[in-house]
């Protein structure tokens, strides 16, 4: 987490410059209490006229005294500031702020001097929300009379039961156990959701609600957050879990399962597809190719086909296969293209598949003689993350991905592109690549989802490459060893002109099938790829070569006619024999070019038109 400190009075330009360097997808906070040095430790603060509160679900509209500034951080969650009419010492601020927090039922962990709050008009990127904007509710000029705050001098202290450090069995979850006993090491911005996450994780592992209620509600972090309401809030989490009942276990690690040959062979293992002959169920793999071969278009079409239950690229042969586990969600993490580009591409593919930009299927109906378009059904279960800075090199991002998958249960996860997600991993070192990709297979096994990564290949050589397509992946051979499904995209000719690609399929558990050829018409306003047979591609290529040869011949003919015109213009009248000798042509070529020049109206015969003595002059 990066921090910026500004000397008061701070200048807007200085702060703006700092914020411009913040990557998209990063949450932005500020500390309301000015400090004496570049630190948020308690001893860094001396005095202030401001009090604050992380209200959570408490409404600022019912707070007394009423906040000077209030804003909504996410649906029905709030934060606020109170500007006092007198200055307090840091110690007085701490006491007054704590009393205020307990009085209005705000977050019990939000009154400390170094507390950070969200900034109005920024974006909340917590994964459980749909990236809401932090909305300013009001900003009043009236100062709060300190006497109104002084009335709250009663010590509103939490009265917890004995602090229970009763911990989950370590073998259930190493990560959970580490967080449980070392909760003070969890960054401030990540603490508030941990008790809720612990409740769900423990219940999913089969621990009784009674045990979970006692253990989580008596944990110091829960007490710090909710105080006397800890048991009530934990019970709410238990009740909410009981409503949705996650069906899969969320485990950090489990011992490998050892089966006898009889048990292993006694189960009929069948090939199952997400999209028939395009992507297999429960697999990991790549969509790869050199730059500018429509990789992202192909990847988005695949993701939308799975989310919407429609054939890949509109081809009935590549039809959607329904999930046997009932999983339908699709998650896209896009780290290369700006949000507007991703939205535009998704919108055009949705339109081609019969949906509107919101993901609702469109249907037509006639009312009073007019045709109208209707939205029908539910929007497709597609979820997108863009420009978040996601990288496999940082544990926080990998943990976020797993938590998101655990909560969302997606059938398909698309990561685009790999090169922006490598961090400091050396893609040419097999050990580092294996360590980077291993968590995805573990998540696949744990949650039953498929992963597709968009990756680049080496620059294609001028001569034919004898390596298999999977061996052309940029970096270590470990990439090819890891994949189980793959679409290897290669250009046909100069793709900028032909707009034609070939897709070679690779499956570790099924035949790969023939090469697919796809033509992409210009997509300025729409999306309509055309899948072509090999015969159609050969015919198109042959016709193009024929046209190119004809164009070359025509170009040479025009050059030769121009040379004849120049010679005749210079020395007219000129005989055919003289032209032949001057330009060093053979008789046959001389006769052909003069005939073409006469037919084009460039030159004409002067009188007699036959015989060696016939003369040519400029037409007109």
pLDDT tens digits, one per residue of 382-391: 999 998 889 9
Average the pLDDT over 240-266 and give the result: 59
Sign (positive or negative) of CA dihedral 233, 61, 68, 66: negative
Inter-CA distances, 64 with 55, 61, 102, 208, 385, Å: 13, 9, 12, 40, 39
Number of alpha helices (DSSP H) and beta strands (DSSP E) in the chain: 19, 22
- Residue 296's pLDDT is 95
Give the start-end residues of each E strand in 241-334. Answer: 273-275, 279-280, 284-289, 329-334
User: 494-515 pLDDT, tens per residue?
Assistant: 888 889 999 999 999 888 888 9
CATH number of 273-532: 3.40.50.300
DSSP bridge partners of 83:
50
CB 109 within 8 A of CB 184: no
Q: What is the DSSP letter of 358?
A: T
Tell me the pairing of strands 284-289 and 450-456. Answer: parallel
Which of 109-118, 517-526, 537-546 reaches the highest mean pLDDT? Answer: 517-526
Residue 324: alpha-carbon gap to chain centroid: 26
Query: Taking Cα atoms as reference points, which of 591, 617, 589 lies closest to residue 604?
Result: 617
Query: Taking Cα atoms as reference points, which of 310, 243, 245, 319 lies closest to residue 277?
Result: 319
Tell me how far apart the alpha carbons of residues 73 and 80 are, in angstroms, rounded to a whole number: 10
Query: Taking Cα atoms as reference points, which of 53, 152, 72 lies closest to residue 112?
Result: 53
Q: What is the DSSP letter of 65?
A: S
Q: Which one is predicted more confidently, 469 or 303?
A: 303
Is the pLDDT assigned to residue 619 strictly greater than 80?
A: yes
CB 311 within 8 A of CB 318: yes
Q: Is 232 left (phi over 0), alpha (psi -120 to 50) or beta?
A: alpha
Tell me how far apart the alpha carbons of residues 503 and 293 are, in angstroms, rounded to a whole number: 10
Is the pLDDT assigned to residue 350 strictly greater than 60?
A: yes
Kind plus residue range of the DSSP H or E element containing 290: none
Which band of pLDDT confidence, cut at 50, 70 and 90, is reported for residue 295?
very high
Q: What is the DSSP letter of 228?
A: G
Q: For tokens 């991993």, what's the residue?
A: 425
Is the pLDDT assigned to residue 286 strictly greater than 90?
A: yes
Give the start-end residues of each E strand in 510-593. Answer: 516-519, 530-532, 574-575
Average the pLDDT over 333-342 and give the result: 91
Query: Helix H segments across 457-507?
Result: 478-482, 495-498
Give the start-end residues of each E strand in 94-185. Answer: 117-118, 135-139
Mean pLDDT over the full length of the chain: 82
What is the three-class DSSP state of 361?
A: strand
User: 21-51 pLDDT, tens per residue?
Assistant: 888 888 888 888 888 888 888 888 888 999 9
Which of 187-191, 256-260, 283-287, 514-518 reaches the highest mean pLDDT? Answer: 283-287
Average the pLDDT over 401-418 and give the result: 92
552-618 adopts what CATH topology? Answer: Arc Repressor Mutant, subunit A (1.10.10)
Q: Is 524 left (phi over 0), alpha (psi -120 to 50) or beta?
A: alpha
Average the pLDDT over 156-164 and give the result: 41
What is the three-class DSSP state of 483?
A: coil
- Least confident segment among 521-525, 543-547, 575-579: 543-547
**Token code pair at residue 607:** 């009188």
Tell me how far apart the alpha carbons of residues 474 and 451 are, in angstroms, rounded to a whole number: 18
Is the pLDDT assigned to residue 253 strictly greater than 60?
A: no
CB 507 within 8 A of CB 485: yes
User: 255-267 pLDDT, tens per residue?
Assistant: 666 777 776 676 5
Tell me how far apart the alpha carbons of residues 385 and 607 are, in angstroms, rounded to a whole number: 81
**CATH 3.30.70.1790: which residues of the chain?**
25-142
Is the pLDDT assigned to residue 87 strictly greater than 60?
A: yes
- Least confident segment among 57-71, 84-98, 172-186, 203-217: 172-186
Q: For tokens 């994780």, what's the residue?
A: 201
**CATH 3.40.50.300: which residues of the chain?**
273-532
**Token code pair at residue 293:** 């071969």
What is the three-class DSSP state of 94?
A: helix
Tell me how far apart the alpha carbons of residues 611 and 605 are, in angstroms, rounded to a whole number: 11
Instruction: Tell me yes or no: is domain 25-142 CATH 3.30.70.1790.
Output: yes
**CATH 1.10.10.10: which residues of the chain?**
552-618
Q: For tokens 């024929």, what's the residue?
A: 546
Tell me how far apart the alpha carbons of residues 415 and 453 are, in angstroms, rounded to a whole number: 5
- Residue 599's pLDDT is 87
Which band of pLDDT confidence, cut at 50, 70 and 90, is reported for residue 155?
very low
Between CA 322 and CA 403, with CA 341 as vertex, the angle to 5 degrees is 50
Tell me how far apart the alpha carbons of residues 431 and 117 are, in angstroms, rounded to a whole number: 41
Inter-CA distances, 175 with 172, 186, 436, 572, Å: 9, 12, 18, 96
pTM for this prediction: 0.51
Is the pLDDT assigned to residue 339 strictly greater than 80?
A: yes
């Amino acid at each position: 987490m990066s921090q910026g400190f500004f000397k008061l009075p701070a200048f807007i330009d200085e702060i703006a410059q700092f914020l411009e360097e913040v990557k998209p997808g990063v949450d932005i906070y500020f500390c309301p209490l000015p400090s004496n040095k570049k630190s948020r430790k308690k001893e860094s603060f001396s005095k202030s006229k401001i009090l604050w509160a992380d209200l959570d679900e408490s409404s600022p509209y019912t707070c007394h005294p009423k906040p000077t500034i209030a804003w909504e951080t996410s649906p029905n969650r709030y934060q606020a500031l109170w500007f006092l009419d007198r200055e307090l010492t840091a110690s007085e601020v701490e006491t007054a702020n704590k009393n205020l927090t307990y009085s209005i039922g705000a977050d019990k962990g939000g009154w400390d001097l170094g507390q950070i709050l969200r900034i109005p008009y920024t974006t909340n990127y917590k994964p459980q929300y749909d990236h809401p904007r932090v909305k300013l509710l009001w900003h009043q000029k009236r100062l709060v009379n300190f006497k109104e705050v002084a009335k709250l001098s009663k010590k509103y202290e939490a009265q917890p039961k004995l602090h229970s450090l009763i911990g989950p069995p370590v073998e259930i979850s190493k990560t959970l156990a580490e967080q449980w006993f070392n909760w003070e090491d969890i960054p401030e911005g990540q603490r508030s959701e941990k008790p809720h996450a612990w409740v769900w994780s423990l219940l999913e592992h089969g621990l009784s609600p009674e045990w979970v209620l006692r253990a989580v509600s008596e944990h110091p972090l829960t007490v710090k957050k909710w105080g006397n309401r800890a048991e009530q809030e934990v019970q709410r989490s238990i009740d909410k879990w009981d409503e949705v009942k996650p069906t899969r276990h969320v485990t950090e690690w489990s011992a490998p399962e050892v089966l006898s040959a009889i048990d292993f062979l006694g189960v009929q293992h069948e090939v199952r597809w997400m999209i028939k002959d395009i992507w297999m169920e429960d697999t990991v793999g790549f969509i790869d190719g050199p730059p500018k071969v429509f990789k992202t278009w192909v990847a988005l079409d695949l993701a939308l086909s799975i989310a919407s239950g429609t054939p890949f690229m509109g081809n009935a042969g590549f039809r959607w296969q329904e999930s046997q586990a009932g999983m339908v969600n699709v998650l896209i993490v896009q780290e290369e293209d700006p949000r507007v580009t991703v939205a535009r591409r998704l919108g055009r593919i949705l339109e081609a598949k019969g949906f509107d930009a919101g993901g609702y299927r469109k249907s037509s109906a006639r009312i009073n003689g007019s045709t109208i378009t209707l939205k029908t059904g539910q929007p497709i279960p597609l979820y997108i993350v863009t420009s978040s800075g996601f990288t496999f090199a940082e544990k926080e991002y990998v943990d976020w991905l797993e938590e998101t998958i655990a909560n969302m249960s997606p059938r398909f996860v698309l990561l685009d592109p790999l090169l922006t997600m490598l961090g400091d991993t050396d893609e040419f070192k097999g050990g580092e690549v294996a360590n980077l990709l291993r968590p995805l297979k573990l998540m696949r096994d744990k949650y039953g989802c498929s992963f597709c990564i968009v990756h680049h290949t080496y620059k294609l050589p001028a001569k034919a490459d004898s390596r298999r397509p999977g061996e052309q992946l940029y970096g270590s051979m470990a990439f090819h060893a890891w994949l189980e499904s793959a679409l290897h995209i290669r250009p046909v000719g100069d793709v900028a002109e032909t707009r034609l690609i070939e897709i070679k399929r690779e499956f570790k558990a099924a035949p790969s099938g023939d090469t697919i050829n796809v033509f992409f018409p210009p997509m300025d306003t729409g999306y309509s790829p055309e899948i072509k047979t090999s015969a159609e591609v050969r015919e198109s290529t042959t016709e193009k070569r024929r046209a190119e040869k004809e164009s070359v011949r025509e170009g040479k003919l025009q050059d030769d006619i121009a040379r004849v015109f120049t010679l005749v213009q210079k020395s007219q009248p000129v005989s055919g024999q003289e032209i032949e000798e001057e330009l060093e042509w053979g008789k046959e070529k001389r006769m052909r070019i003069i005939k073409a020049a006469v037919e084009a109206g460039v030159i004409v015969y002067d009188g007699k038109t036959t015989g060696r003595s016939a003369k040519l002059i400029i037409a007109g």
